[in-house]
Amino acid sequence: MGARKKCRFCSREASVFVRQANLPLCEEHFISWFERKVERTIRRYDLIRPGDKVLVAVSGGKDSMALLCVLKKLSGCMGFEIEGVTLDLGIKGNSYSARSVETAEKAAEELGVKFHVVSIKDRYGFDLDDAVRKVRRPPCSICGLLKRYALTDVAREMDFDALATGHTLNDMARFVLASFMSGAFSELVRLTPASASELPGVPRRIKPFYESLEEHIRTYADLRGLAYMEDGCPYANTAPTDRLRAFLEEMEARSPGTMHAMVRNYLKYLRPALASYLEDELPPLRPCSRCGLPSSGELCSFCRLRDRVLGTG
């Protein structure tokens, strides 16, 4: 920031300027502002209730590490329990998965959070590297399916009420825009801060950073001294260059508050209209005949993928 301003809440010099709220803050007050904002999101959308057991998915990156830290902080005053989990996806390039597990485990230990590591290979008989070799599909798309499935599966097995992921406001805004451009409205309509439990016993998925910008999450993670991993997944460069991400960040820089307005308006006006329009077209979810997790057909997409990779089915 340019001219030296005082923190809005104390006499110290501000070191962070929250452009979206025209708010100069010192480090200490930025941390409490950020945590209160996440708490408001949790209350506004009823993401977590007192007594809930919440499993936090941690990849070792800044967003999920910050999420673990905020939820640990809020768990005391809001009366819920948290544990962390990291999936060992078996990505060997750059020792990515090994570093991811190590980074998350260390953070959980420092924060005093009970932590689990789940090896995809041990649990399902194949890992991401195996799947990428066998299936002609972009690695990040296979990875997304694997993560979504395994996290839900593990959270259900361990009897959690909710599964929290580090999806951010930037992710949400990008998804809204991308869905418009591709016409993927039946996927767009599922984009909510909390997806209700789709079947009995299946935990709901929640996104406590639904209203938090990545620039603020990074500042929080840095001020909290979290030793997160910068990117480094060897498959990252196989994903199409994310122009939408850059476009939205530029819009946000020019007009602070753009992403928030986009996502709030989607949720308030567009989603209800879309839901009633698509009501008859969305296939009701039912238990997969093999694994019992929610599926739109006889076999879920994970079980079909697994058959292809292992040559079973």
Which range binds Zn ion by CB under 5 A, 18-26, 40-48, 108-116, 175-183?
A: 18-26
Q: Give the one entry of ligand Q46, Zn ion, none that residue 233 binds, where binding means its C-beta sits below a cut-off of 5 to 8 angstroms depending on kind.
A: ligand Q46
276 and 282 in contact (C-beta within 8 Å)? Answer: no
**Residue 120 near ligand Q46 by CB under 6 A:** no
In the bound state with ligand Q46, the residue whose beta carbon lies nearer, of 82 and 143, is 143
In the bound state with Zn ion, the residue whose beta carbon lies nearer, of 10 and 278, is 10
Minimum CB separation of residue 100 from ligand Q46 in Å reads 8
Sheet holding 53-57, edge to edge: 115-119, 81-88, 53-57, 162-164, 204-206, 194-195
Which range binds ligand Q46 by CB under 6 A, 15-23, 160-168, 232-240, 268-276?
A: 232-240
Q: How many CB atoms lie within 10 A of CB 272?
A: 11
Name 30's Cβ contacts closer than 8 Å, sequence gap at least 6: 15, 16, 18, 219, 220, 223
161 and 196 in contact (C-beta within 8 Å)? Answer: no
In the bound state with ligand Q46, the residue whose beta carbon lies nearer, of 59 and 219, is 59
Strands (E) across the chain are located at 16-18, 23-25, 53-57, 81-88, 115-119, 162-164, 194-195, 204-206, 286-287, 294-295
**Residue 229 near ligand Q46 by CB under 6 A:** no
**Residue 146 near Zn ion by CB under 5 A:** no
Longest Cα–Cα distance in the chain: 67
Instruction: Name the 3-class secondary structure at 273.
Output: helix
**Residue 233 near ligand Q46 by CB under 6 A:** yes
Reported as type and span, the H/E element at residue 6 is none
**Residue 10 near Zn ion by CB under 5 A:** yes
Q: Give the one entry of Zn ion, ligand Q46, none that residue 7 binds, where binding means its C-beta sits below a cut-off of 5 to 8 angstroms depending on kind.
A: Zn ion
The torsion defined by the Cα of 243, 249, 252 and 254, in degrees rounded to 10, comes to -80
**Residue 291 near Zn ion by CB under 5 A:** yes
Which range binds Zn ion by CB under 5 A, 16-24, 227-235, 240-248, 295-303?
A: 295-303
Helices (H), 45-95: 62-78
41 and 189 in contact (C-beta within 8 Å)? Answer: no
Site map for ligand Q46, 134-153, x if CB under 6 A? -----xx--xx---------
**Residue 131 near ligand Q46 by CB under 6 A:** no
From the list 33, 149, 235, 302, which residue makes contact with ligand Q46 (rule: CB under 6 A)? Answer: 235
| N- to C-terminal Cα separation, the chain | 59
Distance CA 86, CA 103 (A): 10
**Residue 236 near ligand Q46 by CB under 6 A:** yes
**Residue 16 near Zn ion by CB under 5 A:** no
Which range binds ligand Q46 by CB under 6 A, 3-11, 68-76, 195-203, 228-236?
A: 228-236
**Residue 175 near ligand Q46 by CB under 6 A:** no
Residues at the interface with Zn ion (CB under 5 A): 7, 9-10, 12, 26, 29, 288, 290-291, 300, 303
Residues at the interface with ligand Q46 (CB under 6 A): 139-140, 143-144, 233, 235-236
